[in-house]
DNA sequence: CGGCGCGTGAAAGTAAGTTTCATGCGTGGC
DNA sequence: GCCACGCATGAAACTTACTTTCACGCGCCG
């Protein structure tokens, strides 16, 4: 877990926490600065739980104890300068909002998801994944629903620089294809929640064939962790209203971009050439003149 | 005592402190972050004094006790670090870049594309488009290549809240479908460059049938402007290396999010219900338990 | 429906922070 | 020159905060 992004990390771990710990987590995320000022007893009372649970929460998020939590929270709260109007950003969109407000809110959430994802992304894991992608003779990418678009986007990008990559929208095709993977190949599963059964099944098959499995999810402690050799996490806090797929997509795409650039950077010349060739291929479909 | 500038305040007070307190003060000023991690006994030992003196020092600088000092120090130390490395961000990715640099660069560009897009997005045009989308009995969305994913994403979102929306990956299907549009319907064309012939053709057909046409592009003066009733623009400055589809996708998706939320906001209750129903539909495919 | 495991808080235990107090040293008065 | 005073200081007592242990109870599986 990287140094920065404790709050973000906590949001990601939220579903993996027990109910009482979640109450603590929510208080902490809601107002880190305030939490950092509280004593453990105080915070426990506020979360309607015992001190023991607060300690458990600290351990759950990877810290030694409560004083460490206080200090980290204080540090993060200090770093966090409110960039935009607080009434507009952050939460849900108020019923009477005009369009300028809607735009501001969404842009803020989207941009923050991108930034926070980058902040907590582990460069070493990325490096390892890129390494595996480079060595792979075949790459398979899975994703359902909104994550399917991201999977598809990644597939297309890799293909465009000359890597053999597949994306199967259909589970049956995905399963059969995964069964044909072998050691050295790479299977990437994308699932915001980390609980998408189909994706897990496919990754499991891929892994059983000896392929390196990679998971891209918002929740590092979710079931997908059990079938992945490498975990890449996003940091999107979806509001309830825009549930499922808004900021999360952007966060996922940011990670895809990083991996893609990493892969392309390994063989700069070849990748550039491939991009030029493919760009040339669609040039005839471009319109340069204005129409009447 | 001002909220900020504790370190500065301590330096100023230094001469006024007793010798033992000065030793503590010097340690604190030299490395606030390190001091914030130490326990009182630890710091006292390091300053070759007793815990009592450390407490006196805290009181001397206007704080209640040692935990408060730790927290304030942590906060100030955090504020001191540069949020982003200016050398890394902005331009292209240097050949020898390590992965942390790659991530920082991409995140910066992606986030900026989102923010700048939102900044220049015209709320009135958005409003008009949302109006049209709400009134439409059918919505068609077109896009080729990377913009196709965005088109597809938008289609899926609209469908999910109960709007009749189509996305045709294939030009022929798109053209035939566009020919069947009528007044009041909406056709949206997505093209980063604004020169994608296929998309222009389809929009032209849609317009000739009396449908309202909307363009989403990065270049407002491009040929797509000639076939669009409403122009929505993104603000992505793609670097040459990652040409075609990186930040632009995110910018496009941000606009899609705004439109989607706008449409959903018009009929909040219905949209929410639809989202719940669709979420429920995939629930059985979710895995809650961890696997061996 | 009995057992098993997990989440939980009460209570015991430990460590950290705080107060008190005695010492010693320097300074100024007698 | 010696005593008295005050201040800085640390040892020790004390309090509070934090941590661990343990037992209860609830839900789930067999």
Tens digits of residue pLDDT in A237-251: 654 434 446 788 899
Q: Which nucleotide is nearest to B56 (CA to C1')?
A: C18
Q: Which of A2-11, B88-97, B222-231 has the highest mean pLDDT?
A: B222-231
Probe site for chain B from A109, A283, A286 (most B CB atoms < 10 A): A286
Q: Are B175 and B193 in contact (CB under 8 A)?
A: no
- The contacts of residue A234 (CB under 8 Å, 6+ apart) are A113, A117, A192, A216, A217, A218, A248, A251, A252, A254, A255
pLDDT tens digit string along A32-52? 989 999 999 989 998 899 999
Q: Order of strands, edge to edge, in the sheet holding A230-233?
A: A165-167, A139-143, A186-190, A212-217, A230-233
Closest-approach residue (CA) in chain A for B257: A246
Give the closest-approach CA distance of A263 to chain B in angstroms.
11
Q: In chain C, which nucleotides are within 7 Å of a protein Cβ?
A: 6-11, 15-21
Contact list, B260 vs chain A (CB under 8 Å): 242, 246
- Average pLDDT over all residues of chain B: 81
* A274 phi/psi in degrees, rounded to 5: -60, -40
Q: How confident is the model at residue B167, as a pLDDT?
A: 94
Distance CA B273, CA B65 (A): 53
The reply to whether B6-80 and B121-283 are identical in fold is no
Here the tokens at position A250 are 């952007």
CA of B19 to C1' of D16 (A): 29
Which among A110, A250, A261 has the least Cβ separation from residue B102? A261
Cite the beta strand spans of A88-161 per DSSP E: 139-143
Distance CA A265, CA A243 (A): 35
Distance CA A22, CA A41 (A): 17
Task: Indicate the length of chain A as a whole number.
Answer: 292
pLDDT tens digit string along B30-60? 888 899 999 999 999 888 898 899 999 999 8
With an 8 Å Cβ cutoff, are B99 and A258 in contact? yes
Contact list, A197 vs chain B (CB under 8 Å): 285-287
The dotted CATH code for A1-81 is 1.10.10.10
CA of B228 to C1' of D19 (A): 67
- If you search the block for the tokens 């996305």, which residue do you land on? B167
With an 8 Å Cβ cutoff, are A226 and B72 in contact? no
The dotted CATH code for A122-281 is 3.40.50.10490
Contact list, A204 vs chain B (CB under 8 Å): 291
Q: How confident is the model at residue A92, as a pLDDT?
A: 52
Where residue A129 falls among pLDDT bands split at 50, 70, 90? very high
Query: What does the domain layout of chain A look like in residue ranges?
Result: 1-81, 122-281
Q: At what angle do helices B123-135 and B247-266 cross, to 10 degrees?
A: 60
- The contacts of residue A58 (CB under 8 Å, 6+ apart) are A64, A65, A66, A68, A69
Q: How confident is the model at residue A90, as a pLDDT?
A: 42
Q: How confident is the model at residue A252, as a pLDDT?
A: 92
CATH class of B121-283: alpha beta
Distance CA A257, CA B105 (A): 11
Would you call B135 helix, strand, or coil by DSSP?
helix
CA of B19 to C1' of D7 (A): 12
Probe site for chain A from B99, B227, B272 (most A CB atoms < 10 A): B99
Inform me whether the pLDDT recorded for B151 exceeds 50.
Answer: yes
Distance CA A188, CA A221 (A): 17
Closest-approach residue (CA) in chain B for A100: B123
Mean pLDDT of B243-248: 67
Pick B6-80's CATH classification: 3.30.360.10, 1.10.10.10, 3.40.50.720, 3.40.50.300: 1.10.10.10
- The contacts of residue B205 (CB under 8 Å, 6+ apart) are B175, B178, B179
Mean pLDDT of A262-272: 75
Number of H helices, E strands in chain B: 13, 5
Q: How confident is the model at residue A281, as a pLDDT?
A: 62
With an 8 Å Cβ cutoff, are B79 and A78 in contact? yes
Q: How confident is the model at residue A291, as a pLDDT?
A: 47
Mean pLDDT of A70-91: 63
What are the residue ranges of helices labelled H in B14-122?
A: 19-30, 32-37, 40-46, 51-60, 66-80, 99-120
Q: How confident is the model at residue A99, as a pLDDT?
A: 83
Which residues make beta-bridge pairs with B249?
none
DSSP character string of A105-116:
HHHHHHHHHHHH
The rounded Cα A76 to chain-centroid distance in angstroms is 20
Probe site for chain A from B37, B73, B78 (most A CB atoms < 10 A): B78
Contact list, B100 vs chain A (CB under 8 Å): 123
Q: Order of strands, edge to edge, in the sheet holding B139-143?
A: B165-167, B139-143, B186-190, B212-217, B230-233
With an 8 Å Cβ cutoff, are B106 and A279 in contact? no
pLDDT tens digit string along B181-204? 889 899 999 988 887 788 888 998
Probe site for chain B from A3, A73, A102, A244 (most B CB atoms < 10 A): A102
- Average pLDDT over all residues of chain A: 82
* B65 phi/psi in degrees, rounded to 5: -165, -170
Q: How confident is the model at residue A89, as a pLDDT?
A: 39
Which among B110, B226, B268 has the least Cβ separation from residue A95? B268
Contact list, B71 vs chain A (CB under 8 Å): 36-37, 70-71, 74
CA of B14 to C1' of D10 (A): 21
- The contacts of residue B166 (CB under 8 Å, 6+ apart) are B138, B139, B140, B141, B155, B177
Which among A111, A197, A287 has the least Cβ separation from residue B111? A111
Q: Are A186 and A140 in contact (CB under 8 A)?
A: yes
Give the closest-approach CA distance of A137 to chain B in angstroms.
23
Say if strands A230-233 and B139-143 run parallel, antiparallel, or are unpaired: unpaired
Q: At what angle do helices A6-13 and A66-79 cross, to 10 degrees?
A: 120
CA of A69 to C1' of C14 (A): 20
With an 8 Å Cβ cutoff, are A107 and B114 in contact? yes
Contact list, B196 vs chain A (CB under 8 Å): 285-287
Mean pLDDT of A20-43: 90
Q: In chain D, which nucleotides are within 7 Å of a protein Cβ?
A: 7-12, 16-22
Give the closest-approach CA distance of B180 to chain A in angstroms.
23
With an 8 Å Cβ cutoff, are B291 and A254 in contact? no
Where residue A107 falls among pLDDT bands split at 50, 70, 90? confident
* A19 phi/psi in degrees, rounded to 5: -50, -50
More confident call, A235 vs B278: A235
Where residue A130 falls among pLDDT bands split at 50, 70, 90? very high
DSSP character string of A189-250:
EE-SSS-BHHHHHHHHHHHHTT-EEEEEES-TTSGGGGG-SEEEE------STT-SSSHHHH
CA of A45 to C1' of C10 (A): 15
How big is the A-B interface in CB pairs under 8 Å? 228
CA of B2 to C1' of C13 (A): 40
With an 8 Å Cβ cutoff, are B246 and A227 in contact? no
Task: Indicate the length of chain B as a whole number.
Answer: 292
Say if strands B165-167 and B186-190 run parallel, antiparallel, or are unpaired: unpaired
């Amino acid at each position: 877990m990287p140094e920065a992004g404790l709050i973000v990390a906590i949001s990601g771990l939220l579903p993996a926490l027990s109910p009482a710990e979640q109450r603590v987590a929510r208080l902490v995320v809601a107002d880190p600065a305030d939490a950092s000022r509280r004593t453990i007893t105080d915070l426990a009372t506020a979360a309607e739980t015992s001190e023991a649970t607060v300690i458990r929460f600290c351990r759950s998020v990877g810290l030694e104890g409560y004083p460490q939590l206080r200090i980290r929270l204080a540090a993060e709260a200090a770093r966090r300068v409110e960039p935009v109007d607080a009434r507009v950003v952050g939460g849900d969109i108020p019923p009477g909002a005009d369009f300028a407000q809607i735009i501001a809110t969404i842009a803020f959430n989207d941009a923050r998801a991108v930034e926070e994802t980058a902040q907590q992304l582990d460069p070493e894991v990325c490096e390892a994944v890129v390494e595996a992608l480079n060595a792979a003779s075949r790459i398979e990418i899975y994703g359902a629903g909104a994550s399917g678009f991201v999977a598809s986007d990644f597939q297309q990008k890799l293909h465009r620089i000359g890597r053999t990559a597949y994306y199967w929208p259909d589970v049956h095709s995905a399963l059969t294809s995964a069964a044909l993977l072998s050691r050295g190949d790479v299977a990437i599963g994308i699932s915001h929640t980390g609980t998408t059964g189909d994706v897990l099944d496919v990754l499991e098959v891929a892994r059983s064939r000896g392929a390196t499995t990679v998971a891209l999810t918002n929740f590092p402690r979710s079931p997908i962790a059990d079938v992945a050799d490498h975990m890449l996490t996003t940091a999107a806090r979806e509001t309830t209203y825009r549930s499922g797929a808004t900021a999360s997509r952007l966060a996922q795409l940011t990670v895809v971009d990083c991996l893609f650039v990493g892969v392309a950077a390994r063989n700069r010349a070849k990748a550039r050439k491939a991009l030029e060739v493919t760009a040339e291929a669609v040039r005839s479909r471009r319109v340069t003149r204005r129409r009447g």
